Amino acid sequence: MNPTDDELKRIEALIDSTQYHLASESLLRLITETNLSHTQKLEYDILKATVSNKIGRFTESILSVESLTSIPEILHSPVKEISLLSLQVDNYFRLGQMEKCLDLINTGKGKIDQHADFSQQDRIKHTAILVNIEAGIFWQSGSSKKALELLLDLYEIQKDTATPDELADTLEHIGVLYNETGDHTKALQYLDEALAIVLLLQHNPRLALLYNNFGWVHRLLGNMALALDYFEKSMKLEVQSGNEYRLAVVINNIGKLYYQQGKFEQASQYLVRSLQIGRKIGNPFELSTFLFDLILNNIELNKQDQVNLYLNEFQKVCLNNDNIRIMQRYQLAHALFLKSSDELRLKFQAQEIFKEIATGPVLEHELTQLALLNQCDLLLSELLITRKLEILDEISPLLDKLIYVADNQHSYFMLAKAFLLKAKLAIIGMDIDQARIYLSSAQKYAMDHQLDFVAIQISEEHDKLLDQQDVWESLPDKSISIEERIQISGVNFQLLRKIREKTNDMEPQKTEIPVAFILMNDCGPMIFTEKFESNFDYNDQLFGGVLSALHTYCEELFSRSFDRAKFGKYTIILYSKSPILFAYVFIGASYEAQKRLSSFIDKLGKNQNLWAQIEASVDANNVLKGEILQEFLQMFYECFPESKF
């Protein structure tokens, strides 16, 4: 074989093995150092168009394909003609030129039907490429269910005839669409099936895409640490592949995750970088995502000038593209900016936009939930200004709708925020016990899903409310004004705070001072006690009875085992893990205390052997001793180093 033909085959193998940058360098060297024959130049141009697409140079790939489509050798080769047409469809899709995409898809389907030389397997293969992109167009235009139907039908056709790589492509896209429609369980099921195939194929670009999509699902589920791990794996592979288009998406997802955790400065670094790459590529759909997330982050950072600049850029994207999802993102971003203003007329404008999105078709579940949350927040502001308690009747069903939708979507960030808002409404209604129930629910959602900045905020509000319990109990009736109710509670009634308040919220105002730790049978008898303060003196039997009664009360009141009570300067946190009741007494803010107790109990529960022995000791004589006690103490001292040895 001719050495040049060998080199072309080698470059083709590099592309197949996803070594795109190496393939690109080899193509450049080949064209500058070798005189190619007509046939070799044709193969070279096809490879160049393919590599350009794979590394995100879509405009360059379009020009290469256009130069090839009129060449007789291409026109007389159905496989090459359809392959180039599919490549062109993907190029236009990545650039957001959907009308051209759809025209080419219809042309491609017609050509596949016309060519008698195509085998059934070839027909399915090339149709699948076009249908996957067609589903992507429907998804981006807000028709996720239609897109999902297309791919499920395709999968039924493919599953017995498609190659593993082709099947993985469809499985992944089905997983993405299930995630988009809110069925995260099915999303993970299909993504897992795709991952099993891709790991066998060792196909790194597909693996990078899958890791990104796993991260996306887990971010929505509130598994932030796992989501970040997936995103970082994806980013590493995308850097290696050199595909800037996909790299920008992953970087933006990392920024969005940091935003959701309240790490706004850290988020900004990633979000700005993704926008810079997105501008170079020019896909309006992705640009709208990057701009939306960056605007929300800058609102939190109180960078109004930057928000204005990004909104102006966003508006131009909308004017040049007739896409309802892009428009809805812009409307919501604009409404959130208006809401951040101190001017009432702008807040009223924002309220109308929130209402329109919340009651309109669900194009993106996150956007609908965000609109509902902010609609409720502005109604609460209206209630505080007008003092019309009947507004509560308007807010309550909206909040219930938000909680229902967020619960079905496993949107724990929204659930935490919604229950915090319900707690504020309960305070206005002077139902303090119910407010504490909502605050406990809100904090549990936030703590269980690594939403630390939300959890800290909620915990501090709960502490403030608890500090005023004697005042609430002394009030004779509900005749006091709304302003007095809010003032007594000490709770901040603005859902979105100024940046200086946000910064303070990121860290607890003070750490707790440990006083005592008690491990007891949930029926009453103490198993283990540790005093951190020598002057904290109590009768074991009497104190055990008090804790047992408090636990029963909390179970009845909160329907949860993890809550707090306050006695003078002491706060007590109780946690039940049957048959054990844990009690931690401390002075100070609750958040760090809750995290520490929760961490200790998690570690204890993961040591299945130790936990089984503790359970057996409880059943036998309520005493820890010997090796069981020593192993327990080692773990206890790691979590509570202030303890005496």
pLDDT in tens, 456-471: 888 888 988 888 877 8
Token pair of 573, please? 């946190």
- Range 73-85 average pLDDT: 83
pLDDT tens per residue, range 8-30? 889 888 887 767 778 888 888 88
**pLDDT of res. 562:** 45
Sort residue 450 into left (φ over 0), alpha (ψ -120 to 50) or beta.
left
What is the average pLDDT value for the chain, to the nearest integer? 85
> For residue 393, how many C-alpha atoms fall within 13 Å in the half-sphere facing its CB?
3
- C-alpha gyration radius of the chain: 30
| Rounded to 5°, angle at Cα 208 from 203 and 212 | 145
328-352 mean pLDDT: 93
CA distances from 297 to 195, 259, 358, 369 (A): 32, 6, 21, 17
Q: Can you read off the two tokens belonging to residue 232? A: 């970082």
Cα(458)–Cα(492) distance, rounded to whole angstroms? Answer: 10
Q: How far apart are CA 351 and CA 359, in angstroms?
A: 12
Give me the mean pLDDT over the 327-333 stretch: 95
- Give me the half-sphere count of Cα atoms (radius 13 Å) on the Cβ side of residue 257: 28
- The whole-angstrom separation of Cα 424 and Cα 237 is 46
Angle at CA of residue 90, ends 86 and 96, nearest 5°:
145
pLDDT digit string (tens) for 480-509? 888 888 888 878 876 544 433 444 444 545
**CA 242 – CA 208 distance, rounded (Å):** 12
Higher pLDDT, 305 or 481: 305
- pLDDT at residue 505, rounded to an integer: 44
For range 627-637, the mean pLDDT: 87
Evaluate whether 220 touches 411 at the Cβ level (below 8 Å).
yes
Query: Among the listed ranges 99-103, 468-472, 508-512, which one has the minimum average pLDDT value?
Result: 508-512
pLDDT of 578 strictly over 50: yes
* pLDDT at site 211: 96
Q: Which two tokens stand for residue 221?
A: 């589920």
- Give pLDDT, residue 476: 67
The structure tokens 């693996």 sit at 207
Half-sphere exposure of 230 (CA within 13 A, CB side): 21
Nearest residue to 523 via CA among 547, 542, 491: 547
Average pLDDT of span 339-347:
90
**539 falls in which pLDDT band (50, 70, 90)?**
low
Question: For residues 535 and 515, what is the distance between their CA atoms, to the nearest angstrom?
Answer: 9
Identify the pLDDT of residue 541: 61
Cα–Cα separations (whole angstroms), residue 371 to 277, 329, 333, 376, 390: 28, 11, 10, 9, 21
CB 348 within 8 A of CB 309: no
Look-up: residue for tokens 């102006």? 312
Torsion of CA 372, 373, 377, 380, to 10 degrees: 70
Residue 546 has pLDDT above 70, yes or no: no
Highest mean pLDDT among 79-88, 176-185, 287-296, 353-362: 287-296
- The pLDDT assigned to 557 comes to 53
DSSP 157: H
**pLDDT-derived band at 418, boundaries 50, 70, 90:** very high
Give the residues across from 514 on adjacent strands.
586
The per-residue b/e assignment along 56-72, b for 16 or more CB within 10 angstroms, e otherwise, is bbbebbbebbeebeebe
Quick check: 237 and 205 in contact, CB under 8 A?
A: yes
Most confident of 266-270, 472-476, 482-486, 640-644: 266-270
Q: Residue 372 in contact with residue 364, Cβ under 8 Å?
A: no
Quick one: pLDDT at residue 561?
Answer: 42
User: Of the given ranges (162-171, 484-493, 543-552), which has the lowest mean pLDDT?
Assistant: 543-552
Closest residue by Cα to residue 400 from 380, 377, 419: 419
Hey, what amino acid is at 506? M
| 3-class DSSP assignment, residue 203 | coil
Kindly tell me if the per-residue pLDDT of 239 is higher than 70: yes
Does residue 575 sit in helix, strand or coil?
strand
Q: How far apart are the first and last CA of the chain?
A: 79
Q: What is the pLDDT of residue 227?
A: 95
Q: How far is CA 505 from CA 13, 449, 499, in A?
A: 54, 17, 10
Closest CA to 53 of 242, 252, 194, 213: 242
User: Can you tell me the distance from the alpha carbon of 612 to that of 434, in angstroms, rounded to the nearest whole number?
Assistant: 36
Q: What is the pLDDT of residue 556?
A: 58
Q: What's the angle, vertex CA 624, arms to CA 599 and CA 573, rounded to 5?
A: 35
Average pLDDT over residues 330-344: 93
Nearest-angstrom CA–CA distance, 122 and 620: 70
* Residue corresponding to tokens 């850029």: 313
478 pLDDT exceeds 70?
A: no
Alpha-carbon distances, residue 597 vs 279, 514, 516, 582 (angstroms): 47, 11, 12, 8
Residue 220 banded pLDDT, cuts 50, 70, 90? confident
CA distances in angstroms from 78 to 87, 91, 110, 420, listed in the order given: 14, 20, 12, 61
What's the distance, CA 248 to chain centroid? Answer: 17
Considering only residues 541 and 77, tell me which one the structure prediction assigns the higher pLDDT: 77
What does the pLDDT look like over 360-377, one tens digit per residue? 888 888 899 999 999 999
Q: Is the pLDDT of residue 311 over 80?
A: yes
Domain coordinates in residue numbering, the chain: 362-505, 513-639
Q: Which one, of 216, 169, 215, lies nearest residue 193 by Cα?
A: 169
What percent of the chain stands above pLDDT 90?
30
What CATH number does the domain located at 513-639 have? Answer: 3.30.450.70
- Helix-then-strand count for the chain, H and E: 31, 5
pLDDT at position 540 is 61
Separation CA 336–CA 350 (nearest Å)? 7
Residue-level pLDDT at 499: 32
Q: Determine if the peptide bond prior to 579 is cis (ω within 30°).
A: yes
Q: Is the pLDDT of residue 259 over 70?
A: yes
pLDDT of residue 308: 95
